[in-house]
Structure 1
Amino acid sequence: MGHVVQHVYNKIKKGEEAVSTFSELLRRHCLRTIPRIICQCCNNFNVKLDSKDVEILRILQKNCRLSAKEIAEKIKSPISTVYAKIRRMEKLKVILGYRAILNAKELGRGTTAFILASVAYRVPGSKEPLSQVEIAEKIALFPEVQEVHIISGNWDLLIKVKAKDVDEVGEFVVDKLRKVEGIEKTLTCMVFKTAKETTEIPIFRERGA
């Protein structure tokens, strides 16, 4: 931020800005500068991807069963280029795998719950504090669990569960989750209706790519 202040000060000395106060000039300059910085950050990847890579990823997220030939036709590139780009992104672990998306309701697992859990890091009889990561990994082994996240705030873990019905969610919480060493208390949030549930990652193309 120091370079912004210096830039504003230089403008005042040169008389390039007709603004009565330094603070107002600084505010105006920041409003012009910060959006550009945010835009640049949003368009940066951890790996180098060009516009064709991004197009391929968007297509595969919609339908990963398409052949290299079909993708090549959509993005107007040679099949060999598409094949090479996909293999490269697999090696870079940009693409982690290809999976079928199942209909949980039709398979009798249409009830979703998000469970907040707090962790007691010290339990009676234990000399060493419990590991939050190890507790999360134990919970992740339960077949009902789809996601486990270590989070900030008043709770330590956020757990997503798919079950047959509310009773099964209750059985999971009482008979499994609360028996995990270190779990202190839980709060279960039942999902009434899902407006969006996706595995797609929003991808922004790099500027100039």
Structure 2
Amino acid sequence: MHELDAIDRRILNVLQRHGRISNAELAERVHLSPSACHRRVQRLEQTGVIAGYVALLDPRRLGRPTTVFVEITLSGQTEDILDAFEREVALIPDVLECHLTAGSADYLLKLSVRDTEDFARIHRRYLARLPGVAQMHSSFSLRTVCQTTALPV
């Protein structure tokens, strides 16, 4: 694990919220020279603390206003069953996240869909065909109360 100092943390906080900020503006915000700031950002990238840069899209504007969470319980916990499930679920384009969980289900999926009909299509075409599935429970999000991609640093 990379040891972060206060300046690294300030850089990360700014970049998480303003990924397209120029190096000059970033340096000004964190009170560094542009060259020192650039070196620190490069080090954070090289050590993997900064894993990448993305554009965050608005699902509503893309016609995918509905978030669905799907809890999946598998028929067993053998490595073959887990591997087969994980391999196949990773191929489903509508799955935004898939988490192996401890609790009432084995996996929790997050999907972004157009509406209930779109989810029914995805369910029939992909989810119902996943290997090793014993049970599936779906929950539709009514409203997003809070959401962030920024990690506390």
Task: Output the TM-score relative to the length of structure 1.
Answer: 0.70
Residues 136 and 150 in structure 1, CA contact (< 8 A), matched pair in contact too: no
Residues 178 and 184 in structure 1, CA contact (< 8 A), matched pair in contact too: no
Q: Secondary structure at the match of 1:87?
A: helix
- Which portions of structure 1, spanning 4 or more consecutive aligned residues, are displaced by more than 2 angstroms? 128-131
Q: Secondary structure at the match of 2:98?
A: strand
AA of the residue aligned to 2:101: I
Deviation at 1:112, TM superposition (A): 0.4
Match of 2:111 in 1: 161
Match of 1:112 in 2: 67
Match of 1:61 in 2: 16
Match of 1:84 in 2: 39
Deviation at 1:75, TM superposition (A): 1.3
Match of 1:142 in 2: 92
Deviation at 1:166, TM superposition (A): 1.3
Match of 1:42 in 2: none
- Structure with the bigger RCO (C-alpha within 8 Å, sep 6+) is 2
AA of the residue aligned to 2:64: R
Counterpart among 98, 102, 123 of residue 152 in structure 1:
102
> What is the CA deviation profile of residues 114-166 of structure 1, one whole-angstrom value per residue up to 9, with x for unaligned ones?
000011138xxxxx863314412311211100000000112100000001111
Q: Aligned equivalents of 2:138 and 2:94: distance in 1?
A: 14
Q: Which has the higher helix share?
A: 1
Q: Aligned equivalents of 1:70 and 1:154: distance in 2?
A: 47
Q: Which has the higher strand share?
A: 2
Q: Secondary structure at the match of 1:130?
A: helix
Q: Secondary structure at the match of 1:74?
A: helix
Q: Give 5+ residue unaligned stretches, structure 1.
A: 1-45, 123-127, 204-209
Matched, 1:48 2:6: no
| Identity in percent | 29
CA separation of 1:47 and 1:129: change in aligned 2, threshold 3 A: closer
What is the alpha-carbon root mean square deviation over aligned residues?
A: 1.5
Match of 2:55 in 1: 100
Q: Aligned equivalents of 2:113 and 2:61: distance in 1?
A: 12
Q: Aligned equivalents of 1:143 and 1:196: distance in 2?
A: 24
Q: Secondary structure at the match of 1:65?
A: coil
CA separation of 1:108 and 1:62: change in aligned 2, threshold 3 A: same
Q: Aligned equivalents of 2:59 and 2:101: distance in 1?
A: 26
